[in-house]
Amino acid sequence: MSKQSVNRLMLVFFILLLIIPSSVMGEEMKTNQNEGEDPVFNNVSVHDPSIIKEGDMYYVFGTHIEAAKSKDLMSWTRFTNGYKTPGNALYGDLSANLAESFKWAGENDSDSKGGFAVWAPEIFWNDHYINKDGTTGAYMMYYSASSTYIRSAIGYAVSKNIEGPYTYVDTIVYSGFTRDEAYDANSVINKKWDNTNIKDLIADGSLTGTRSGWFNSNGSYNNSTFPNAIDANLFYDENGKLWMTYGSWSGGIFILEIDKTTGRAIYPGQDGTTADGRLIDRYFGTKISGGFGKSGEGPYVVYDQKMKYYYLYVTTGWLAADGEYNMRVFRAKNPTGPYVDAMEQNAVLPGNVDHSPYGNKIMGHFLFERNVGDPGTGIGYGYLSPGHNSVLYDEEKDQKFLVFHTRFPQRGETHEVRVHQLFINKDGWPVAAPYRYTGEKLEKINKEDIVGDYQFINHGKDISKTLKKATTITLNNDGTISGANGSWELSSDDYATITIDGKAYNGFFLRQWNSVAGKVGVTFTALSNEGMSIWGIKTIERTEEEIVEIVKNQLDLGDTNAIIANLDLPTEGTRGTQIAWHSSNPEVVSAKGVVNRPVIGEENATITLTATVTKGEATATKTFTIIVLAEKLPRLVAHYSFENDLSDRTKNVASGTLTGDRIDNSGGKISYGAGISGKAAIFDGASGVRLPNGLISSNQYSVSLWLNPDQLTDFTTTFFGARTTENWVSIVPKGPVRAETMVWSGSNWYDAVTGMQIPKNQWSHIAFTVDEGKINVYVNGIKKFSGVGFPNVFTTTNATFGLGVNYWDLPYKGLMDDLLIYDGIVLSDEEIQTYYGSGEIPRVEEMIEKLIQHFVMNPGIRESLFVQFDNANRDFEKMEQFLKQGNKAQAKHFKANGNKKLEHIIKRVEQSSGKHIDEKYAKQLISYLEYVLETRE
């Protein structure tokens, strides 16, 4: 290639890039930190945990019939087997045991089609329960069986052994019923009210009849006013009466009295209102929180004998990692309310209002971010969507514990149980310790130990997806605060009063195990009279020189030998340390990390980046060698047709290899059967396929495959690609959004939903294309989703790829056929439709060779094309000049001229190749053709 051609190509690409727009988780996980006196954690995934203590053992029971036990609230052991039946660890023959509840919801019905939905149990020891054999005392499990967001039922089962088996007794509350005969999608259950226990309650005189308000004018269930019957919680009041709270979203949280000898509900029998105007319903009981379809679930009431208050904990927001889950608390003098927050606001909403101001927010999304120079590894310490808590008052330890599940930043839908200690502040409100419990207790703390720098979080009152990141403040020796406008005070050994912007927060100073630093340190937790919680975690004291040296040593850009995307160059380290960057070749890698790759046919570029680290008067430098790879030819990377093997028909890459039930496991088995074309791979639900690394290494690609699932399980992947465990793309037949088939990406969450779920035992074609953030998803040749802002996942050359398995979820069970993976190419609607209809595979290599031959045989056409390319280049150069001069009119004129020439070039290429191609691919193709033709001549 001539020097003139190289310069021309570099300039064209640089200008065009600047100015032309382009269109179940839940398995046991171990984190043993056992160094000397370090606490030992064994984490488990039990969603919606209900806590109970039996002897010296703590138990949590949760959704999907999961449970675990621990002697120290840190190291947990799972002892259940999920929905397995027969032989279920808690219920034996699950279908037979809970059959009465399942007549209404929860088994192979609607949202639980093909499985079960047994959620959010409450575990409760009842001294007064009379067993069938006449003895008294039993463990009672109040469970939720659910089929839709409103059609649910609460039943209970009992056992004399806390680990079961539990025997069904009764179903006491139903919701989602209708006035007349009606059916949900994928359901044969008649939802009419007389298919619930209401019919029998009317017959025995417990109810006088149905209530007209239960139904909307069209006869459907009025879930804006009345509850969804899930999330039971039981407690004794100060007089020994037994109560059950329950509810989720819909009409709010309700409370019913329970007969403590039978476990059955004592229904009010008639409608009414409380003295403060809250709803009393003959069947559902008294409303104590929420309403109007607003979020609010997982109620948990505990009576504090010392404070003489009933504390109601409620979680608001959507529960997933991309939701807004956060825990709140109210209190009341009576079990039936009214429950109010620190601002004396009633927990029952006054109307269809924004409910974020209501309730004291205990915690929501947060991240104590780990910057360069901070101790530990990873991104730091934080939670996403912590919630659905229970509370344990451990009288033996004289401690209170908040027990909940949470997800985590950059860990997808993985969730685990966490236990934080609770303290009651001087205003009588609970506040939660910033770190998980490791055996700490409140103790005398000296002022001099408190003084120093802190990472600071204000949880606020919002119900939002915002991940609140810590800022740095300093608690000075004179009682002032730097980094915020405020002051602080220590009193009575451990009481904390933190005043910021004129608002006082009351709580405690305490010493806790810092899981990031791996040592004990000072923290604080406090609450304002507006119901906002704040946390502080003290950082390690260091000199400026020490900080700079640590930042320098920790500064790392990873593998810099094959850069294909922009670099993330940190500009700030720990304690406000500044990091400035200098590049030896800013045109290839800028000081901000922007990468401009050499064009096709050019050599890779080697650059030196220098970082200067500064804090105060201290400074240090560190250099990095960066190798930027040249652009590569877009192509069909792989075609796996599964003709009795896992080979790639293009022979570009290696064959796939077998895995076990996760992408990083060994073992597994794949067989073959009749496919959509020839043979297909049969996935057995316990195995997967690991594909070669690096199949996609751009932000323009296309994936196409055929699926015929035997089962549809939550989150199960079919095609999976990941740069890391936090950055991935997945084709999910049954995704987290309304159980729809979708392309799902995390952990910068993106839901490319199709509005449908592909059927079982039937072939469906799925394809998706990504074009620099624009994504299209197709089902059977029809575009079902189009969106922008899709994450740039494949920014390295060694991403991991697999079929039927990922790092977390149940493997795929069913057939798969004819997988096509294109890198650098965005297939058009027409190409995908043609392939679906006829099976004609877009052959990129054939198109390129056809173009090369065409131009070799027609030098006049070729030269004309290249002249137009140069003319377009000159137009864009002039446009750039006028932009710098501020002459937007002339700049717009030359941009239009350049674009017009490019459109003509694209048409010429399409005519020569017989294929439709997009703008960026045409430009890359022309550059490559120029290179190939010059080298051939």
Known catalytic residues are 48, 297
CB 286 within 8 A of CB 228: no
Given the DSSP bridges, would you call strands 800-803 and 813-823 parallel, antiparallel or unpaired? unpaired
> What's the rounded Cα separation, in Å, for the pair 213 and 625?
72
Q: Is the peptide bond before 338 cis (omega within 30 degrees of 0)?
A: yes
> What's the rounded Cα separation, in Å, for the pair 271 and 742?
45
Please, which residues have CB within 8 angstroms of residue 314's CB and are 6 or more apart in sequence? 253, 289, 290, 296, 297, 298, 299, 300, 327, 328, 329, 330, 347, 359
Quick one: 357 exposed, middle or buried, by C-beta within 10 A (0-12, 13-18, 19+)? middle
- Cα dist. 230→63, 88, 192 in Å? 11, 21, 19
Rg (CA), the chain: 32
- Residue 314, sorted as left (phi over 0), alpha (psi -120 to 50) or beta, turns out to be beta
> What's the rounded Cα separation, in Å, for the pair 247 and 537?
35
The pair phi, psi for residue 5, each rounded to 5°, is -65, -40
Q: Is the peptide bond before 112 cis (omega within 30 degrees of 0)?
A: no
Given the DSSP bridges, would you call strands 366-369 and 468-469 parallel, antiparallel or unpaired? parallel
CB 436 within 8 A of CB 43: no
Please identify which residue in the block is written with the tokens 């709580």: 507
What is the 8-class DSSP label of residue 496? E
Single-letter code of the amino acid located at 25: M
Sign of the dihedral through C-alpha 443, 449, 455, 459: positive
> Which residues is 71 bridged to in the sheet?
none
Quick one: 338 exposed, middle or buried, by C-beta within 10 A (0-12, 13-18, 19+)? buried
Single-letter code of the amino acid located at 468: K
> Token pair for residue 785?
């989703």
Q: CB-side exposure of 788: number of CA atoms within 13 Å?
A: 2
H or E segment at 3? helix 3-19
> What's the rounded Cα separation, in Å, for the pair 658 and 388?
39
> What's the rounded Cα separation, in Å, for the pair 358 and 356?
5
Q: CB-side exposure of 484: number of CA atoms within 13 Å?
A: 26
The pair phi, psi for residue 788, each rounded to 5°, is -120, 170
3-state SS, 166-228, equals CEEEEEEEEECCECCCCCCCCCCCCCEHHHCCHHHHHHCCCCCCCCHHHECCCCCECCCCCCC
Sign of the dihedral through C-alpha 421, 423, 429, 433: negative
CB 779 within 8 A of CB 741: yes
> What's the rounded Cα separation, in Å, for the pair 474 and 828?
57
- Cα dist. 202→196, 198, 257 in Å? 11, 6, 18
Work out the angle at residue 471's Cα, subtended by the Cα atoms of residues 468 and 474, and round it to the nearest 5 degrees: 145
> Token pair for residue 926?
């022309």
CB 98 within 8 A of CB 86: no
